[in-house]
Amino acid sequence: MVSVPGLDPRFRHELDVAGERWHYLDNAPDLRERGARPVGTVLAVHGNPTWSYLWRRLVATGADAGWRVVAVDQLEMGLSARTGTRRTLARRVADLGAFTDALGLDGPVVTLGHDWGGVVSLGWAVDHPELLAGVALLNTAVHQPDDAPVPAPLRLALAPGVRRVATRSTRAFLEATLALARPPLPPDVADAYRLPYRTAADRDGIAGFVADIPTSAAHPSAPELDRIATGAAKLQVPALILWGARDPVFTDRYLDDLLRRLPHARVHRFSSAGHLVAEDVDWPPAVLAWLGRDVEGSARAAGAAREPAPAGPFRPMWAGLDARADDDGPAVLDMSVVSDDGEPRVVTWRALHRQVHRLAAGLHRVGVRPGDRVSLLVEPGPTLTALVYACLRIGAVVVVADAGLGVRGLTRAQRGAWPRFVVAQAKGLAAARALGWPGVRISAEPLPAPARAALGVAHELVDVARAGDGADLPPEPGPDDEAAVLFTSGSTGPAKGVVYTHGRLAALRDALAAHLDVGPESGLVTGFAPFALLGPALGTRSVTPRMDVSAPRTLTARAVADAVRAADARTVFLSPAAILNVVGTAGELDGDPRAGAALARVRTVLSTGAPIGAQLLESTAALMPAATAHTPYGMTECLLVTDITLDGIREAASEPDDGVCVGRPVPGVEVLVSALDDDGAATGPPSDEPGVLGEVLVRAPHLKERYDRLWLTDLAAERDTPPGHWHRTGDVGHLDAAGRLWIEGRLAHVLTTVDGPLAPVAPEQHVERLPQVRRAAVVGVGPAGVQQPVVVVEPVPGAGPRRPGLAPPELSAAVREACPVRPAAVLVTPDLPTDVRHNSKIDRTRLAAWADRVLAGGRVGTP
């Protein structure tokens, strides 16, 4: 046999089945040498134009977990026989069954397929339920939607006069497929894929496979594809889908279809991988982890995967709205629509309740069904509020990704969540059209007919509402049904979708109401997007100040005062970046008694997001002198973890410690810390021992259900956690003897020095006490284990140079004296880079790369 790189010749076998020679890979020799009896068999089926070489890494490692791996070369493909037979899909499924019968394969069997091998493997799975233990898939499809064209690369390959030339006469189809690898395949690996397809006769199976793609109901293979698609939806075994998001053939629309048929599947979407996901990423560990967790111990996994969201009777998010259905008092105030006398438009509880009912019924009439994802690209206000509660009421899943993610981030979010419907204003509709975002488009505002056509709008919201007049609503969703996908800020990597169930959203509402004493008469002003829609759920009137919600720094003291006065609000939610500008513009309220009187009635003010210091919180409290100032700690995955008041911050300041004190866990929340080892990894057993630096773990009834289509990220977030539903936050810090949590940075930003792990926040705080320093960041340069700390400072205006680079001697000396660790260098930049959404979290990863470049003598530029 010809030697193939990365493939142990012991694993290559041949088998004659009814006179036809099959080539296949089988790691049974490895298991025999170990004296191990296999737990089960993975039956792996390649697609077109690859061969069993695709599965070599799993064949090589499967025995480590006790699994036999059999990877076939389909007939006419790979190194199996060329018989000249045109094989339909049904014939290929039957062929595979004949092969496994001849091999004497018995259960348990897990099928694994890619491309059209995914369909063939599912066909085998449907036909062998008595042997089946699970199904795993890489990019594939079992259904072609009637309203969507066949993917462009396949349309080209199927074109008359092109197919035979591209697939058989030349290697064009093969080479185009190999070129999809990200990064490009090493030359010897690419040659291994070419090995079985040297001549036109060798490539006859490639041409036959392309010709067998069902492009219409009249195609000979269409009935078999329909049979497999229907049968797959009835499979109740564990399922795994690993997906390359940058596949031009099997796009996310096919992933969405698979998840409708296999809603229980574990799925991980690799955002940087493409069609050849098996070459683009290290995927075998994911399969082996799934086999161990879900297939071998499916009963254990099912019982321990999730705790039910809070005990007690379930009170849905719209219950507060229903309770005030006949109330003519204000529910939502719209500061974007102001009367001649300066008063905002008011939507009453009665009107809001009616509009929610109309929209819910109307959305259902135009095809929105329970579980359907609906992306809402609408500015905060009464329309968005009504839409959110309408979607929740009919069991649709609300997708929320704010404009602060930027065009690339929003595109990634929309394609990752793959909503079936998009409700947007003109700007969002234009982006959806131009960038190819998925979903049936519904305009949130009336548009001229030409604009509707140009933007691909299927419905206008006003018509949807009319369609719902007097119509009945479908049954209510339950607490375990999915309710929302909220996207993280992207400040610590690509934004991730976070899935909340109805029960967990309701638990968040209850935690906020109880801890902050928010009730019907509280009123709520929020300049922080995640909380902008909670007013109706809390049963209190709400308003968003005039601002660009995607740019928190646009919020002014005047806008806050106007919103508080209009809503007679007692509670104000703001983000740290918003607070910075609110405090900075406080002077515009001087001499305005109405604004001062309104702000004096506020009882609670919160800065939600990144923790803020005492000085900024004191300035905020000065604007609202009767208010208790809070700065809760949380994240998109768990929006309320701990809380601390201004008095609590003052108390903590009298007992100096490392990091930022974010207070004690709110009722119902548990916090533990997993200690860091010398490599900066959180490997210690989670505990509440005081003074231990480590990764923060949280548990709460309102903790996220899971990440969306990121199963491996879920595994990392739940690694080595205690029994129950815990989450590794990625933040590092410690608990003190009083049970308070101190945050010292992100796990990814921990320096690994010769003296052990170093969290950045504490030394940054010491440097930021210098009068000439506005902000500071401590980053590491050099190899892991011997990293050297570098301090990068942003001077106050006029206190340092305007250009980035090495700090001047006087500033450098002051920083070195203030810093508790000895920095290898002190750098300066006029503006430390921050994340795109919060505008408050320093991008230390970017700064570290910049510092490394500067100190290596490279171009200084800007961080």
Q: pLDDT digit string (tens) for 64-114? A: 999 999 999 999 999 999 999 999 999 999 999 999 999 999 989 999 999
Q: Does 565 reside within a domain? A: no
Question: Rounded mean pLDDT of 343-371?
Answer: 96
Q: Mark whether 357 and 471 lie in a shared domain.
A: yes
At residue 301, does pLDDT exceed 60? no
The reply to whether 229 and 80 lie within a common domain is yes
Higher-pLDDT residue of 443, 581 = 443
**What does the pLDDT look like over 669-721, one tens digit per residue?**
999 999 999 999 999 999 999 999 999 999 999 999 999 999 999 999 999 99
Segment 191-211 mean pLDDT: 96
Q: Are residues 824 and 721 in the same domain?
A: no
Question: N- to C-terminal Cα distance for the chain?
Answer: 55
Q: Name the residue range of residue 320's domain.
A: 306-510
CATH number at residue 380: 3.40.50.12780
Residue 305 clears pLDDT 50, i.e. is over it: no
Element spanning 614, H or E? helix 614-623
Position 432 pLDDT exceeds 90: yes
Cα distance between residue 119 and residue 228, in whole Å: 7
Of 65-74, 284-293, 429-438, 829-838, which range is least confident? 829-838
438 vs 151: which has the higher pLDDT: 438
Identify whether 782 is part of a domain. yes
Across 48-64, average pLDDT: 97
pLDDT score of 164: 85
Write 673-679 long-range contacts (CB < 8 A, 24+). Answer: 673/697, 673/733, 673/734, 673/735, 674/720, 674/728, 676/732, 676/750, 676/757, 677/757, 678/752, 678/756, 678/757, 678/785, 679/752, 679/757, 679/784, 679/785
Res. 147 pLDDT band, cuts 50 70 90: low
Q: What is the mean pLDDT of residues 790-803?
A: 90
Strand order in the sheet with 482-487: 457-460, 440-443, 421-424, 373-377, 397-400, 482-487, 497-501, 706-707
**What letter does residue 687 receive in the DSSP assignment?**
B
Among 712, 732, 749, give the residue marking a domain's end.
749
pLDDT of residue 426: 94
- Mean pLDDT, range 622-642, rounded to an integer: 92
Angle at 258 between CA 255 and CA 264, to 5 degrees: 110
Q: Which of 510, 519, 500 is nearest to 667 (CA)?
A: 510
Same domain, 105 and 231: yes
Question: Domain count of the chain?
Answer: 4
pLDDT band at residue 402 under the 50/70/90 scheme: confident
Q: Which of 749, 782, 800 is the last residue of a domain?
A: 749
Task: Tell me whether strands 524-526 and 542-544 are parallel, antiparallel or unpaired.
Answer: parallel
Do 740 and 805 belong together in one domain? no
pLDDT at 149: 74
Q: What is the CATH number of the domain that holds 58?
A: 3.40.50.1820
User: Do both 501 and 397 map to the same domain?
Assistant: yes
> Which of residues 485, 510, 535 is at a domain's end?
510
pLDDT of residue 838 exceeding 70: no
- Burial grade of 831 (CB within 10 A; 0-12, 13-18, 19 or more): exposed
Rounded to an integer, the average pLDDT of 803-820 is 95
pLDDT band (50, 70, 90) for residue 338: confident
Average pLDDT, whole number, for the chain? 92
- Quick one: 310 and 299 in the same domain? no
pLDDT higher than 90, residue 197: yes
Q: Please, which residues have CB within 8 angstroms of residue 361's CB and are 6 or more apart in sequence?
A: 467, 468, 469, 471, 472, 473
Confidence category of residue 299, pLDDT binned at 50, 70, 90: very low
